[in-house]
Structure 1
Amino acid sequence: MTDSNRPLRVAIVGAGPAGIYAADALMKSDTAVSGRGVSIDLFERMPAPFGLIRYGVAPDHPRIKGIITALHKVLDKPQVRLLGNIDYGTDITLDDLQSFYDAVIFSTGANADRALGIPGIELDGSYGAADFVSWYDGHPDVPRTWPLEAEKVAVLGVGNVALDIARVLAKTGDELLPTEIPANVYEGLKNNKAVEVHVFGRRGPAQAKFTPLELRELDHSPTIEVIVDPEDIDYDEGSEQARRNSKQVDMVANTLQDWAIRDVGARPHKLFLHFFESPTEILGEDGKVVGLRTERTQLDGTGNVKGTGTYKDWDVQAVYRAVGYLSQNVTQLPFDDQAGTVPNDAGRVVADDNAEGAARFMPATYVTGWIKRGPVGLIGHTKGDANETVANLLEDSVGFAGAANPDENAVIEFLEGKQVPYTTWQGWYRLDAHERSLGEPEGRERIKVVERHDMLKASEPDRAN
C-alpha cells in the first residue's frame, strides 16, 4: 500500500496535450485537495513538450497553437516536472517507472499513418500525411528535404489534416515565411512546383469531417482559388438529417454550396474539393505516380454511399493520403493492432480476460488520449479522456502497491547514471527564448529549431539566453 503521508507519485509518458491535461486533472483531484497532494513527472521523447501542437499542427494555425498558453500554466505548477528527450522503452522501461511511481499513465498519441489498401500505394510519389506534416513542422527525426516536383497533386481524405496538407501545398513559401517554419522547410516550399491540388472525398459534403473555420480559412489566401463542382453538391435524407442535427455540418455544407455556385477567379493556384470520388488505384509508370483512379459514388439514402461503376483517371504526379493517424505499439503494454489502441476500460489498461470473461487490469497502469480512444476528435476532446482516466486512477489508488523508491531524486539519479541527456521545463524556457531570438531579426515570433542536438544545446542552463 502507498504511504498516505507522502504525495501520490504519478508518471505520465507523453507530454502532449493529453498528458498535460491528465497532469492538470490530477492536480485538481480530490487527492490533491485532501492534503496528500500529487507529484507528477511527465516523460517526453522529444526535447521539447507539447507533442501534437508543436509537431502536428500546421504552422499557419497560430490560433490552435495558442492552446500552448493554457498548457504552459499547467507545466508551471510546482507539482509537475518535465523530463524530455527520454525514449520510453529504451531510456526507461515500465518496470523502471513502476519502481519510482505509484501509477503510470501513457499518453503517447498517434504519429503513424493508417494504411490505405489500394494498388499503387507503394509508388514513388505516394506519401503519408504524418510524414509530410512532420517535415513541415520541423520534426527532428525526419529528413530535412521533401520532394515537391509535382505540378498536380492529390490529397485523399476530407478531414482537417487533409485541409492542412492541401493548404500548405497550395500556398507559396513566402506566404508561410512569417510563421515559425525553419529555413529548410521554407527553402523546400519556395521551390514547390504544385499549381493544382485536388482533395478527394468518398462521400458527400454533409459527411466531410472539416471544421467550419478550417474550411473557410482555405479561401483566405490571395494565391489559392478554391473550386467546388456544383455536381458534387448532393444530399439524401441521411445527409439532411446530419445537417439538422449538427450546426457544424450545416455550416460546412453551406460554405461548400456557396463556393460551388460562384465564378472561378484568377488566383494562380487551384485547390479543388471533390466529393463522391472513391480512390481505387494509384497509377504508376516506371515506379512513379502518374495518376489517380477513382470510382464515382452516390448516396444510398442513409448518408452512406455505394459505387456506380463509373471510373475516372486524374492527371497527378503525387498522392498524399490523409485517411487517419494510427498509434504505434507501446512496449510492455497490450495492443490492438486493428484499432490502434491499448485495450482499456475507461483508461484502465486491460491485460487480458480471466476464465469468466471479465477484464483483468494491469496494476496501476492507465492510458489517455489517442492511445486510449483512437485518433478522433479535436485537441480539446482529450480533456474528457483525461478526467475519466484520472478519476479511475484515484479510485484505484487506495489499493496501489506503491513505489519501491518514490523519492523525487531517485529517477534523476537513475537517468544520470545511464547518461541520458534529458531536458527539463527550465530547459524549454531556454529553448523557447532561443527560438524567439532567431525570429526577432526577421520580425517573426520564432523560428523553430530542428536538429535534436541544437535543441539540446539551446536547452542547457549555461546558454546566455
Structure 2
Amino acid sequence: MPNALRVAVIGSGPAGIYAADALVKSDAEVTVDILERDPAPYGLIRYGVAPDHPRIKEIVKALRKTLSNPQIRFLGNVAYGTDLKLDDLRQFYDAVVFATGARTDRALDIPGVDLPGSHGAADFVSWYDGHPDVPREWPLTAESVAVLGAGNVALDVARVLAKTADELSTTEISDNVYEGLAANRAKDVHVFARRGPAQVKFTPMELRELGHSPNVDVIVHPEGFELDEGSMEAIRASKSVKLVVDRLQNYVASEPAGKPHRLHIHFCESPTEILGDSCVTGLRTERTELTGDGNVRGTATYTDWDVQAVYRAVGYLSSPLADVPFDHRAGVVPNDGGRVLDLDGDALPGAYVTGWIKRGPVGLIGHTKSDAAETVAKLLEDATTLAAPEHADPDAVTAHLAGRGVAYTTWAGWEKLDAHEVALGEAEGRERKKVVAREDMVGICTD
C-alpha cells in the first residue's frame, strides 16, 4: 500500500470508536478522523444511558483510551449531510465508515399515538440525558403513567419517572433536568409487556436495580405472569433468562412496603389504543396468551387503564443518511458484511457501515466490537481498489470546514469541556454535571 489510508468514521459512539480502533490496530498504515454531529464524543453512552447507571458508563474509560491514539482525530459538531456530504468526504478520504447508530423511536401503529401526552422514549431519554438539540423542559404533570415495552430502555424510562429528583441529584443531570423531575407528579408508573416474563429483554442488572430505590415499590402483577413450555425451555437454555424470571417471581411474592411511588410491571398485555380526544386520558390493552413458541395471541379481553401519559419504548430506529441507500422497513443501510450496497445490490465504492445502522438496534454494546471487526476486514480487503482522495492532507478537511463556517470541536477541546463538567460536579459533591446548550459546549471546547 503506497500511501497511508485516510478513513472517515461518521459517529463517535462505541460502534464508531471500535471501528477506528480496529483500523489503527491492523497491519495497514492508516489514520482515522471520527466526525461527530455533537460537540462531545461517545454517542449513546453520553446521551442514551440513564444517569443513574454509572457502571455502564465505565466503558468510557476504554473508549477514551482509543480516542487518545494519535492516529485518530476527533472532529465534533460536524453534521454529516449538512456540513459534509459523501462527495465532500471522498475528496479527503479513501473510505467512509458510517456508524450513526439509532436515535429515534420506532413507530407504534395504534390509534391515539399522536395525542399530546404520548411520548417516544428516545425523546425522553435525550431530555434527561441533556442532549443539546432537544427542548429544555418536559411535561411531567401525569400522576399515572404507562410505559410500553419490555426492554432495558422501558425500565430506564420507568425508573427515572418513578424516582424522586433528589435521588438523581447525585448523578450528572443538568439543572433543567433536576428542576423538571422535581416537578414530576407521577406516583404510579405502569410498564406493559406484550409477552410473558421469560420473553422480556430486561437484563438481570437492570431488573435488580429497580428495587434499590427507597421511594419506589416494585409491584409485579401475577395476572398474565405465564410460563409455558417454551418459557421453560428459554429458562433452561439461558442463565440470564433464569435470573430475570427468578427476580420477577420474587417481586410477585413480595408485599409492597408502602413507599410513596409505585412501579408496576404487567405481562401479557398488548397496547391496542391510546385513549383521549385532545390529550391522553387512558390506555387500552388486550390480554394475550402464550402460544408455546415465544409468541402470543390475543384473547379479545380488553382493559382500560387510567393514565395521563404514555411513553413508547418499543425500539430505536436509525435515520436515513444523505446520498446513501436506506432500507426504510428494516431501518438499516443495505450492506454485505459492512460494505454498503446500492439499489442494484452492488457495493458502493469506499462506503461502509457498522453498528446499529448496519444490523439494527439489537444486542449489547459488546456485540458492536465484533461487528466493527467484520466491517474493517471488508474495508481492508478493498484497500488496493479504493480511489485515492484528491486532498489527502489532514489539514485539508479542517480548512474545508473552517471555510464553511463550521465551528468544529477537537479532542483537546473535549478535554476542556470534560474538565469543566467535572469541576461543576465537584462543586456540588458529584462526579460530573453536564453542560447542555450546544453553544456553551462549543464555546468551552474552542476557548
- Separation in 2, partners of 1:262, 1:100: 61
Matches within 5 A, 1:160-179: 160-179=152-171
- Separation in 1, partners of 2:90, 2:324: 13
Matched, 1:131 2:123: yes
- Partner of 2:262, secondary structure, is strand
Matched, 1:250 2:242: yes
**1:352–1:361 Cα contact (<8 Å) kept:** no
Match of 1:313 among 304, 317, 325: 304
Matching residue of 2:347? 361
Matching residue of 2:27? 30
In the TM superposition, what is the alpha-carbon distance from 1:235 to its structure 2 partner? 1.0
- Partner of 1:431, secondary structure, is helix
User: Which amino acid in 1 is paired with 2:433?
Assistant: I
In the TM superposition, what is the alpha-carbon distance from 1:437 to its structure 2 partner? 1.2
Matching residue of 1:44? 36
Matched, 1:337 2:328: yes
**1:173–1:186 Cα contact (<8 Å) kept:** yes
Matching residue of 1:278? 270
User: Which amino acid in 1 is paired with 2:50?
Assistant: A
In the TM superposition, what is the alpha-carbon distance from 1:232 to its structure 2 partner? 3.0
Matching residue of 1:395? 381
Matched, 1:97 2:94: no
Matched, 1:186 2:178: yes
Matched, 1:13 2:5: no
With normalisation by structure 1, the TM-score equals 0.95
- Separation in 2, partners of 1:22, 1:303: 34
Matched, 1:264 2:285: no
Matches within 5 A, 1:299-448: 299-353=290-344, 359-448=345-434
User: Which amino acid in 1 is paired with 2:10?
Assistant: V
**1:159–1:210 Cα contact (<8 Å) kept:** yes
- Separation in 2, partners of 1:438, 1:261: 43
- Separation in 2, partners of 1:95, 1:303: 46
Matching residue of 2:285? 294
In the TM superposition, what is the alpha-carbon distance from 1:237 to its structure 2 partner? 1.3
**2:137–2:177 Cα contact (<8 Å) kept:** yes
**1:40–1:79 Cα contact (<8 Å) kept:** yes
**1:237–1:303 Cα contact (<8 Å) kept:** no
Matched, 1:218 2:210: yes
**2:353–2:375 Cα contact (<8 Å) kept:** yes
In the TM superposition, what is the alpha-carbon distance from 1:418 to its structure 2 partner? 1.3
**2:223–2:266 Cα contact (<8 Å) kept:** no
- Separation in 2, partners of 1:221, 1:197: 14
User: Which amino acid in 2 is paired with 1:365?
Assistant: A
- Separation in 1, partners of 2:86, 2:294: 45
How many percent identity over aligned positions? Answer: 65
Matching residue of 1:121? 113
Cα-Cα RMSD: 0.8
**2:12–2:41 Cα contact (<8 Å) kept:** yes
Matching residue of 1:110? 102
**2:225–2:268 Cα contact (<8 Å) kept:** no
- Separation in 2, partners of 1:301, 1:432: 51
**2:148–2:193 Cα contact (<8 Å) kept:** yes
User: Which amino acid in 2 is paired with 1:208?
Assistant: V
Greater Cα offset, 300-309 or 178-187: 300-309
Matching residue of 1:151? 143
Note the alpha carbon deviations across 1:206-240, whole angstroms, 9 max, x for none: 00000000111000011110001223322111111
- Partner of 1:143, secondary structure, is coil
Runs of 4+ in structure 1 off by over 6 angstroms are none
Matching residue of 2:192? 200
In the TM superposition, what is the alpha-carbon distance from 1:148 to its structure 2 partner? 0.2
User: Which amino acid in 1 is paired with 2:415?
Assistant: Y
Note the alpha carbon deviations across 1:154-185, whole angstroms, 9 max, x for none: 00001000000000000000000000000000
User: Which amino acid in 2 is paired with 1:437?
Assistant: A
Aligned residues: 447
**1:203–1:304 Cα contact (<8 Å) kept:** yes
In the TM superposition, what is the alpha-carbon distance from 1:301 to its structure 2 partner? 1.7
Note the alpha carbon deviations across 1:261-292, whole angstroms, 9 max, x for none: 1122111111001000000000103x111100
Task: Note the residue ranges of structure 1 that are not aligned, 5 or more in a row.
Answer: 32-36, 354-358
- Partner of 1:9, secondary structure, is strand
User: Which amino acid in 1 is paired with 2:423?
Assistant: S
In the TM superposition, what is the alpha-carbon distance from 1:47 to its structure 2 partner? 0.4
Task: Note the residue ranges of structure 2 that are not aligned, 5 or more in a row.
Answer: none
Match of 1:449 among 435, 438, 447: 435
Note the alpha carbon deviations across 1:363-393, whole angstroms, 9 max, x for none: 0100000000001111111111100000010
User: Which amino acid in 1 is paired with 2:139?
Assistant: P
In the TM superposition, what is the alpha-carbon distance from 1:414 to its structure 2 partner? 0.9
- Separation in 2, partners of 1:341, 1:86: 22
**2:136–2:177 Cα contact (<8 Å) kept:** yes
- Partner of 1:231, secondary structure, is coil
Matched, 1:57 2:55: no
**2:118–2:310 Cα contact (<8 Å) kept:** yes
**2:224–2:269 Cα contact (<8 Å) kept:** no
